[in-house]
Amino acid sequence: MDSASGSPFQTAVEHQGVLLGKHEEDISAARHAVGTLAAQMSELSSQVHNLRLQPSASHCPPVQTEPRINNPPVYSGEPTQCRAFLTQCEVVFSLQPVTYAKERAKVAFVLSLLHGRAREWGTANWETEAECISSFEHFKEEMIRVFDRSAYGEEASRRLSTLRQGRRSVPDFSIEFRTLATTCGWNQPALAARFLEGLSPEVRDEVLVREIPARLDD
């Protein structure tokens, strides 16, 4: 009688034990999941904090772009324009240093602007891999040696010594005078005296009525 009546009860107890065990497993699994999630959230929070401390890419200085400029006029070998042409090319190189970082790129740029006999000379040097195309400075020196006949140094001094205004305007005379004065090496008092001497008599007389400047820029 006891075994018969206890069998369903014992079965029920065992069943409840199984359910309780499963419940404990579920609770343990849930606790583990919560712990894992908490650790992940803590790590994520730490990463966000570190990212905030790092400088933003938007705060990096912008890349400076080189200005767009017009190319110098082509050079055809005019004896008095060689230095001016090369100077204009140097201005381009100074404004676009990234584009013309290599010496050969500078020489190629100059060659692209040559025309006529100057182009023939430049092409011959390029095709034969002449030493002067190894750098812009070498190429510049060779161009000046071959083409330049502008007044420079002693030649500028000689021309300045005999320069006269004549029938042209004072501004025209002044431009040529200052161009020669740049390379002749004279001091300012000598330049001022020579400029006054080169003026036409009418203009010079008018200037002499006023105080004579000690410098050409006065």
- Which residues neighbour 164 within 8 Å (Cβ) at sequence distance 6 or greater? 198, 200
More confident residue, 23 or 74: 74
**pLDDT at residue 94 is higher than 60:** yes
| Residue 147: Cβ within 10 Å count | 22
Alpha helix (H) residue ranges in 54-150:
82-95, 103-112, 116-127, 136-147
Mean of pLDDT values over 86-103: 96
User: Which residue type occupies 34?
Assistant: V
| Cα gap 178→152, rounded to integer Å | 12
- The per-residue pLDDT for 147 is 93
User: Which residue type occupies 99?
Assistant: T
More confident residue, 5 or 39: 39
**pLDDT at residue 197 is higher than 80:** yes
Orientation angle between helical segments 103-112 and 136-147, nearest 10 degrees: 40
**pLDDT at residue 61 is higher than 80:** no
Positive or negative, the CA dihedral 210, 214, 216, 218 is: negative
| Cα gap 151→165, rounded to integer Å | 18
Report the chain's mean pLDDT, rounded to a whole number: 82
Mean of pLDDT values over 185-214: 82
- The per-residue pLDDT for 123 is 96
More confident residue, 140 or 3: 140
Matching residue, tokens 């004072």: 170
| SS3 at position 75 | strand
By C-alpha distance, which of 146, 140, 144, 145 is closest to 121?
146
More confident residue, 2 or 94: 94
More confident residue, 82 or 27: 82
Q: What is the pLDDT of residues 104-163, one digit of tens each?
A: 999 999 999 999 999 999 999 999 999 999 999 999 999 999 998 876 777 888 888 999
109-123 residues labelled b (16+ CB within 10 A) or e (exposed): bbbebbeeebbebbe
**Chain-centre distance for alpha carbon 92:** 10
Rounded percentage of the chain residues whose pLDDT exceeds 70: 71
Matching residue, tokens 């070998």: 77
Determine contact, residues 118/148, Cβ cutoff 8 Å.
no
Tell me the CA end-to-end span of the chain in Å, nearest whole number. Answer: 138
Mean of pLDDT values over 39-62: 66
pLDDT band at 186 (very low <50, low <70, confident <90, very high): confident
**pLDDT at residue 32 is higher than 80:** no
**pLDDT at residue 64 is higher than 90:** no
| Cα gap 107→134, rounded to integer Å | 8
In a 10 Å sphere around its CB, with 0-12 CB exposed, 13-18 middle and 19+ buried, how is residue 93 labelled? middle
| Residue 204: Cβ within 10 Å count | 14
